[in-house]
Structure 1
Amino acid sequence: MSQQPLLKVHELSKFYGGRIGCRDVSFDLWPGEVLAIVGESGSGKTTLLNCLSTRLTADVGCVEYHMRDGQYRNLATMPEAERRFLMRTDWGFVHQNPADGLSMTVSAGANVGERLMAVGERHYGRIRETAGDWLGRVEIGLDRMDDQPRAFSGGMRQRLQIARNLVTSPRLVFMDEPTGGLDVSVQARLLDLIRGLVQDLGLAVIVVTHDLAVARLLSHRMMVMKDGLVIEQGLTDRVLDDPREPYTQLLVSSILQV
C-alpha cells in the first residue's frame, strides 16, 4: 500500500444560504481503503460526497488528490477539462439510480465501451472483447450485450453501471447509496459483487449509505454525520460495536431492533 494518502480533505464546508450542508470535514483516504459515510437523511453525507467528487463546489476548505505523477493537486483549482478527464478515467461514480450513470439509449456493451473510448481505445474488437469480459465479471450474460439498459432489471442496471465505472481501472470510486431501492436479495448479491471487485482491484472507495449493514460489509473505516458535522469516526467495527456518541448509539440500536 502507498505510504501517501490518495485524497487529503481539509476543513471542507458547504452552505446553502443559512443552512449547513457540511462543515469543517477533514480526513485522509488511503489507496485501497473503503470509507463509509453514514447518517440519516439530511445529515450532510450526500453534500459531502458531491463536494469530494467536485459535483458541488465547496465554500471553504480544499480537497487534494494524489495524481499518477506523484503530485498532489487541489481539485478546486484544477482546470475544468482536466477535472472532467479525471472523472472519466481515474475516478468512478456509482449513482443510487443507475439511469443517472448510464446511457439508457445505447447497448450494455456500448455503455462500457464509452468509458474505454474516453481513455483512447479505438479498436472496435478490443472494446467489444473488454466490454464482454466486464459484463461477465458483473454477472451479465454475453447474450445481453446488445440489449439496452431499459430492458434490464434494477439490479442488472446497477451491475452494468459498476462495470462501466471500473473498466478504466480507476483508483477512486464514489458510491451514493449503491443498493438503495433494490430488493433485499438483490442487495445481498450486489454487495458481495462490490466487495469482491474492490478487494481484487485494490480500489479506494467512498460510499454514502444510511444502511449500517452495508457500511459494515464494505468499509474499513466509517464517518458518522449529523447536521452537517462528522460527530464520530473510526474503524468500522469499532464504531458499530462500541459507539461513543449518543447519536451513533441510537443509529446502531435502531438497526438492532428492526
Structure 2
Amino acid sequence: MTDTPLLKVRDISKFYGARIGCQNVSFDLWPGEVLAIVGESGSGKTTLLNCLATRLMPTSGAVEYRMRDGQMRDLSRMSEAERRFLMRTDWGFVHQNPADGLRMAVSAGANVGERLMAVGERHYGNIRETAGSWLGRVEISVDRIDDQPRDFSGGMRQRLQIARNLVTSPRLIFMDEPTGGLDVSVQARLLDLLRGLVQDLGLSAIIVTHDLAVARLLSHRMMVMKDGLVIEQGLTDRVLDDPREAYTQLLVSSILQV
C-alpha cells in the first residue's frame, strides 16, 4: 500500500445561510479503504459526501485527490471539465435512487458502454462484450443487455448502476445509501455483491448510510455525524463494539440489530 492518501480532506465546511450542513471535517482516505459516514437524517452526512464528490462546493476547507500520476490536486482548483472527466473515469457515484444514476430510456448495455466511451473506447464489439461481461458480474443475465432499465426491478437497476460505475476501473466510489429503499432480501444480495467487488477490485469507497449493519459489513473505518459535526470516528468494529460518545451509544443500541 502506498504511504500517500488517495483523498485528503481538511476542515471542510458547508453552510446554507445560518444553517450548518457540515463543519470542520478532516480525514485521510487510503487506497483500498472503505469509509462509512453514518448518522441520522439531517446529520450532514449527505452534504459532506456531495462536497467530497464536487457535487456541492464547500464554503471553506480543501479536498485533495491523488491523481494516477501521483500528483495531489486540489479539487476546487480544477476546471469544471477536469472534474467532470474525473467523475466519468476515475470516480464513481452510486445514488440511492438508481434512476438518478442511469439513463432510463437507453439499454442496459448502452448505460455501461457510455462510461467506456468516456475513456476512449470506440470499438462497438469491444464495448458490447465488456458491457455484457459486467452485467454478468453484477448478476444480470446478458440476454437483458438490450432491455431498458425502466423494465428492471429496483434491485436490478441498482446492480446496473454499479456496473456502469465500475466498468472504467475507478479508484474511488461514492455511495449514497446504496441499499436504501430495497427489500431486505434484495439488500442482502446487493451488499454481498458490493463487498465482493470492492475487495476484488481494491476500490476505495466512501459510503453514506443510516444503517449501521451496512457500515459493519462494508467498511473498515467509520465516522459518526450529528448536527453537521463528526463526533466520533475510528475502526468500524471499535466504534460499533465500544462506542465512546453517548450519541453513538444511542445509535448502536437503537438501530444495530446483530
User: Aligned residue for 1:239?
Assistant: 239
Q: Secondary structure at the match of 1:9?
A: strand
Query: Identity over aligned residues, as a percent?
Result: 86
Distance 1:221 1:180 in 2: 20
- Letter of the 2:183 counterpart: D
1:156-167 aligned at under 5 Å gives the runs 156-167=156-167
2:186 counterpart of 1:194: no
Alpha-carbon separation, structure 1, partners of 2:230 and 2:73 = 24
Paired with 1:255 and 1:57, the residues of 2 have a C-alpha distance of 32
Structure 1 residue 256, shift from structure 2 partner: 4.5
User: 1:1-258, aligned counterparts within 5 Å?
Assistant: 1-256=1-256
1:55 Cα deviation from its structure 2 partner: 0.1
Counterparts in 2 of 1:127 and 1:43: CA distance versus 1, 3 Å:
same
Q: Distance in 1 between matches of 2:102 and 2:122?
A: 20
Find runs of 4+ consecutive structure 1 residues off by over 3 angstroms. none
Cα distance in 2, alignment partners of residues 145 and 205 from structure 1: 27
Q: Is the contact between residue 212 and residue 256 of structure 2 (CA under 8 Å) also seen in structure 1?
A: no
Question: 2 CA distance for matches of 1:2 and 1:97?
Answer: 34
Deviation of 1:3 (Å): 1.3
Contact persistence 2:211–2:256 (CA under 8 A): no
Query: Tell me, which stretches of 5 or more residues in structure 1 are unaligned?
Result: none
For residues 119 and 192 of structure 2, the distance between their equivalents in structure 1, rounded to whole angstroms, comes to 28
Report the Cα distance in structure 1 between the residues aligned to 2:98 and 2:78, rounded to whole angstroms: 28
Cα distance between partner residues in 2 of 1:257 and 1:139: 28
Mapped partners of 2:27, 2:211: distance in 1 = 22
Kept after mapping to 1: 8 A contact 2:102/2:161 = yes
Deviations 1:129-163, CA, capped at 9 Å, x for gaps: 00000000000001100000000000000000000
Amino acid at match of 1:168: T
Take 2:171 and 2:257, find their aligned partners in 1: how far apart are those partners?
A: 37
Query: In structure 2, the residue corresponding to 1:196 is in which secondary structure?
Result: helix
**CA deviation profile, 1:170-210 (whole Å, cap 9, x unmatched):** 00000000000000000000000000000000000000000
Q: Structure 1 residue 2: deviation in Å?
A: 1.5
Distance across 2 between alignment mates of 1:220 and 1:257: 19
Q: Distance in 2 between matches of 1:190 and 1:236?
A: 20
Q: How many residues align?
A: 258
What is the identity, as a one-letter code, of the residue corresponding to 1:145? I
Give, in whole Å, the separation in 2 of the partners of 1:73 and 1:10. 13
Q: TM-score, normalized by length of structure 1?
A: 0.99
Q: Distance in 2 between matches of 1:130 and 1:44?
A: 37
TM-score (norm 2): 0.99
Alpha-carbon distance between aligned partners in 2 of 1:257 and 1:90, rounded to the nearest angstrom: 35
Structure 1 residue matching 2:231: 3-state secondary structure = strand
In structure 1, C-alpha distance between the alignment counterparts of 2:40 and 2:144, rounded to whole Å:
37
Instruction: Give the RMSD, CA atoms, in angstroms.
Output: 0.8
Query: 1:255: Cα distance to partner?
Result: 2.0
C-alpha distance 256-114 of structure 1, shift in aligned 2 (>3 A): closer
Cα 1:146–1:241 shift into 2, 3 Å: same
- Give 2:153's aligned amino acid: S
Instruction: Give the distance between the partners of 1:253 and 1:235, measured in 2 at CA.
Output: 18
Q: Distance in 2 between matches of 1:37 and 1:256?
A: 15
Deviation at 1:14, TM superposition (A): 0.2
